[in-house]
């Protein structure tokens, strides 16, 4: 199956377990892989035969900027669910990172990854 990868979506949001994370916020980085049929656009060269990935970028940015969930697991699930509502997308993989998680003596980043498939029916 064909896919489109969108990497490096970086935005500021307010999801986090600690109260200060929901008040002060922090940076998030999101990578998205979308599975869909690219053959029609490959033949027609028409944007209406593919997915305009600007829609995905703005969806991710909106959810990160406006959500105030306690857990990043909830945020990543919301992103995946919203993207799967797009007609062309059959499966989505999301990688969400907190590059500066507020954990004492930890300079790394925390990354979650989920893969979700559209239910048939």
- Within 10 A of 96 (CB to CB), how many other CB atoms are there? 26
Choosing from 68, 98, 109, 118, which is the catalytic residue?
98
Which has the closest alpha carbon to 116: 96, 88, 91? Answer: 91
Which has the closest alpha carbon to 74: 22, 120, 121, 35? Answer: 22
Has 65 been annotated as catalytic?
no
Q: Judge residue 31's burial from the number of C-beta atoms within 10 Å of its C-beta, 0-12 exposed, 13-18 middle, 19 or more buried.
A: middle
Catalytic positions are 98
């Amino acid at each position: 199956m064909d896919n489109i990868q969108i990497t490096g979506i970086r935005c500021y949001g307010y999801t986090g377990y600690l109260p200060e994370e929901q008040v002060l916020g922090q940076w998030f980085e999101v990578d998205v892989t979308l599975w869909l049929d690219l053959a029609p656009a490959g033949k027609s060269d028409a944007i209406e035969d593919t997915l305009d990935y600007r829609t995905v970028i703005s969806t991710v940015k909106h959810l990160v900027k406006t959500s105030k969930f306690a857990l990043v697991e909830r945020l990543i699930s919301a992103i995946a669910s919203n993207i799967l509502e797009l007609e062309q997308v059959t499966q989505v993989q999301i990688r969400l990172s907190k590059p500066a998680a507020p954990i004492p003596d930890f300079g790394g980043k925390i990354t979650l990854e989920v893969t979700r498939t559209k239910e048939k029916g």
